[in-house]
Each structure stands twice: as C-alpha cells, then as structure tokens.
Chains A and B, each alone.
Chain A
Amino acid sequence: MLKDITIGQYFPGESVIHRLDARVKLIITMLFVVMLFAAKGFFSLAVGVIFLIMAYSLTGLSPTLVTKSLKPVVPVLLVTAVINVFFFEGNEIFRLGFISITDGGLINSAFMLIRVTALIAGSSVLTYTTSPIELTAAIEKLLAPLKIFKFPVHELAMMMTIALRFIPTFIEETEKIISAQKARGADFETGSIRDRASAVVPVIVPLFISAFRRAEELALAMECRCYRGGEGRTRMKQMKAGPADIAALIITFVFLACVVLIDRMN
C-alpha cells in the first residue's frame, strides 16, 4: 500500500538525535554524503557505514524501519548494481556469451551498492528524526545568505513546508478514492496496459479536484491570517545550537578525517 512508503516520514521521539538542532543535522547529513563519496576503498567506506550505524542506533527507532525505507528503492539499487558489474575492467571470472563478468566489476558493483544503500539509509535518519517544519526552517536559515542576491528563500521554504505538509494528506486521500472506486468495482490490478491506464482516470480526476479545493482553502486561510510573505516575520521557536550539537559536528568531522586519512594511507 501507499502507506508503507516511509521515505520522508517523521517519527517523533526524545532521543539525542531527535533533539539535535535541525540545521546541524542537515549539515551532518551533507557531510555524511561527502564522506561516502570521498571514500575510495572498502575500509574507508566501512568508516562511513559505522558512522551511520552509530547514528541510527542513537535514534532509538526500530531497525526494521531501515528496511522499510529501502524497500521502494530496491529495483533502482539492483539495476545500479547490475550495470556496474559490466562497466569495470578486471580479470574475467566467467563468460556468458559476449558478456564477461570480471572480479573488478563485481567488487565495484558491491561498493556502489553499499554506498547508495548507506546514502538512502542516512538521509532517512534525518527525515525520521526531524519534523518537516524543523527541516524547512533549517533550510531557510542555512540559505538565508542568498537573500542578498534577491533569492526568494522564505517563499521557497514556505512552498516546501506546504508541499511536505500535504504529502500525507494526499496519500490518505488517494487511498480513500481508490477504495471508493474499488467498492464500485473498479479494477486496478488486472487487464491490458490500456485498461489499466484508463482505470487511473476515476482516481486522478477526484484527486485533482480535491487538490485544487484544498489549495484554494489554504490560500484563503493564509490570507485571513494576514500572511504577507517573509518580511518582518519572526519564529515562535528559535533555533539554538548547544553543546550536544557542537559535539555531534566534531564527531562527524573526526569520521570524515578518518575516511580521508585511510584513503591517503592506501
């Protein structure tokens, strides 16, 4: 079901990771991505994976959630892995017709697989532990310097907040409409491609109508509360980085340094 997609879902909690400043978490996630892409060998990649496991175990979330976040991307992962097998040189292990499987190809594909898996799992640590509101507020803060170039930072953040806010609503709405049409005998599972494409119409039309209705209502509600854009707007919850945030940043840099050093040594 659509509900099982947990990418981008927030699980409230009280762990150390939950309480970190959203800006810091965002920066750490970016550093983690850098870490993964800086890693050239399995040893340095392992450091990144250890960092991820450490962060994840601190969140206090159940380990099954990781597999849930990975499930929708499994096809992408597999395709990446398979393609990588063919694109690297090495000693041939065996041959299938004109395709030769090399040890280099296999090793590289395993490396890519671990890297991409860690990447997705790592970014879901961020979204699992940070509410969308905090996240967009953090983005707004971090991008604030761009305002000098007349870049509409606040508007962008507000758009993101609204979009994120409505994802669950629309998933729920879509499920409800699908159920209602199924109750009228709509068939989404069998039939030719043409049948299935036209089976979507009874879902799309009501969904669009409701999206427009909601957009109008929301615009009206914002106007009623005198929303005028970002100028002069203050926040109820001020973001403050504390000792824990600084410690987290330092730990991240230590790991990053390890990755770079291990690669240098080899």
Chain B
Amino acid sequence: MSILQTENLTCVYGKGTPFERTAVDNVSLSIEKGGITGIIGHTGSGKSTLIQHFNGLLKPCSGRVLLDGKDIWEGGKIMPGLRFRVGLVFQYPEYQLFEETVYKDISFGPKNMKLDQNEIDARVHEAAELFEIDEKMLAASPFELSGGQKRRVAIAGVMAMRPEVIVFDEPAAGLDPKGRRAVFDIIGKYSRNTGCTVIVVSHSMEDMACIADRLIVMNHGSLFCHCPVNEVFSRAEELTKMGLDVPQVTKVFSELKKRGLAEDDNVYTVGQAVASIMKRLGKKGGDPAC
C-alpha cells in the first residue's frame, strides 16, 4: 500500500522575477509503506525542494501531495497534525538546536504535540537510547557537543515525535566514514524496529546501495526513475550522463565480468562482492545484505 503520493507536483521558485526557476517539474510518484526509499540526484536537481512538499513546508505550485490517499492541502489548508505524521530532518540539522540542554531540545517536538510529561519523557529517553546519548549528555548544553554528536541529537529530536514517515536530507553530510556508518546504522535500525516509512536523500551511491530498498532518481527537477536499487544501478551509463555514479564495486564487477572473471555484475555492496568472490572460489562467506 502506498502511504505518500505526489501527483504532477510542480514547484517554481521566484515566479515572475528574473530569477524564476522550476525546481520540481511534474513529478508523480508513490512511496510504499514501510522500508527505506532513497532519493538521489545531482546538485540542484530538486531533491530538497521535493521533500519539503512531503510535510507541507512548501505548497505545490500545481499538483497534489497525498498522505494515506488524502490531499494534504485539502481546501487550501494544511492537514492538521501533518508535521507530526511526516517528520523531516533537514540537511545540517545541528544548526537548529537552541535549547539549554540536550534533553530540552529533543523534547521540543513532542512538547509541540501537546503530549503529557510522562509520555514526553519516555519518548526522549527512547530516542536518546537509539542514538546512544547517555544521561550525562542529556543534561549537557547542545552547544558543547562535537559536530557528530550534535547531528545525532538533532535527528533524535525529530524521531522523538514518532512520525509515520520520516525524511532525512543528507543525514551523513560532512561526517567522517565512521560517523556516516553510525548514522545509517541507526536509520536502518529505526526502520526495522518501528516499521516506519523512511526516505533518505543522499549523494553517496555506496550508502544508498547499502541501506535503501528502492531508489528515486531526480534529474533537473524531473523524475528519472523510481525502482528497486538493482534496476537503477543497471542503468550505469545514463546515471553517469546525469553526473551521478554507480558504486565503485559495481564498476569493478562489470569490468571483471567483461573479462570473464566474474559471473554477475549486479553487485552493489562490498558484502555482496565478498559473497560473489567466495562463491566463485567455492567457499562460503560474505554478507549479501550489506
């Protein structure tokens, strides 16, 4: 069943000025309930603009956005409680922290939902646990933390609202490889534990191959394709033309296949690569999942 749909969604910035620009152009897509959907596209392809329509931060210039089959702008007014049902974590979310303590900052969202104190407390601790934020850190000021820690606090602040759909814009931007993996691990764990629909915007094909079930590819504001990960990466040539790339190991394997050294070229993660090599050597090993 699809939970989030767009119908002919179009967004034009600066309409009527010399700076007019169509950032999202006639995009129709439908995102299934549960699982992780990735959105990729070159810089300026309209990813951030697209996702801001999902929770009604931007109003479509034309077209509709549907949540659970209902238009979120029914009658020109935003669906009540939409922002709590569709959570959005902005790029560099650490710049939105403002409270005196980490605890207060994470509870900002739940407080806006007008939950009672016990519930708020439970949610803050649940989110904090997921991100390995301990009591000491909860009592600290968010401005004393490191960049990666701030990022985790900011993401926890949105997760604490327990939205049905949660959208991440470049959640790992500017983090080191270890930090990236930690963030994606948490997102994966969150998706599996709660069964929520997760949408992740990212530039990194490697990360996407690892975490996403399906991919939405944007190109110059239009939808290029929306299909399972392996189908996307099998169109390597078109992706390269759009300024995107397939994962490194996929490239290695398609070369290997050309030379008759590997059977399959639909290998997207290091785990799959290891499994494929082991199979060829007649051994067991590797992790086809990731």
Q: Is chain B a partner of chain A in the same complex?
A: yes
Which A residues are closer than 8 A to B by beta carbons? 3, 6, 11-13, 61-62, 64-65, 176-177, 179-187, 201-202, 205-206, 209-210
Q: Chain A residues near B157: list those with CB within 8 A.
A: 184
Work out how many contacts link A and B, with CB atoms closer than 8 A.
Answer: 64
B113 touches A185 (CB 8 A): yes
Picked from B16, B97, B158, the residue with its CB within 8 Å of the CB of A183 is: B158
**In whole angstroms, how far apart are the Cα atoms of A13 and B157 in the complex?**
45
B87 touches A183 (CB 8 A): yes
14 A-B pairs whose Cβ atoms sit less than 8 Å apart in the complex: A11-B17, A12-B18, A65-B17, A176-B90, A176-B95, A179-B57, A180-B96, A182-B57, A184-B161, A185-B108, A185-B113, A185-B161, A186-B112, A210-B95
Within 8 Å of chain A (Cβ to Cβ): is B143?
yes
B110 CB to nearest A CB, Å: 9
B112 touches A183 (CB 8 A): no
B95 touches A184 (CB 8 A): no
A211 CB to nearest B CB, Å: 12
Using A177-B95, A180-B93, A187-B112 as known contacts, say yes or no to A64 and B88 having CB atoms under 8 A apart. Answer: no
A183 touches B98 (CB 8 A): no
Q: Chain A residues near B108: list those with CB within 8 A.
A: 184-186, 202
Within 8 Å of chain A (Cβ to Cβ): is B109?
yes
Q: Chain B residues near A187: list those with CB within 8 A.
A: 112
A184 touches B112 (CB 8 A): yes
Q: Chain A residues near B112: list those with CB within 8 A.
A: 184-187
Picked from A6, A12, A61, A206, the residue with its CB within 8 Å of the CB of B95 is: A206
Using A177-B96, A206-B97 as known contacts, say yes or no to A183 and B17 having CB atoms under 8 A apart. Answer: no
Q: Chain A residues near B87: list those with CB within 8 A.
A: 183
Q: A65-B17, A184-B96 are in contact. List 8 more A-B contacts (CB 8 A).
A: A13-B18, A61-B18, A180-B93, A185-B109, A186-B112, A202-B96, A202-B98, A206-B95
**Identity of the chain A residue whose Cβ is nearest the Cβ of B111 in the assembled complex:** A185
Picked from B17, B89, B96, B161, the residue with its CB within 8 Å of the CB of A181 is: B96
**In whole angstroms, how far apart are the Cα atoms of A182 and B158 in the complex?**
11
Q: Mark B76-114, 1 if CB is under 8 A from A, else 0.
A: 000000011001111001011110000000001100110
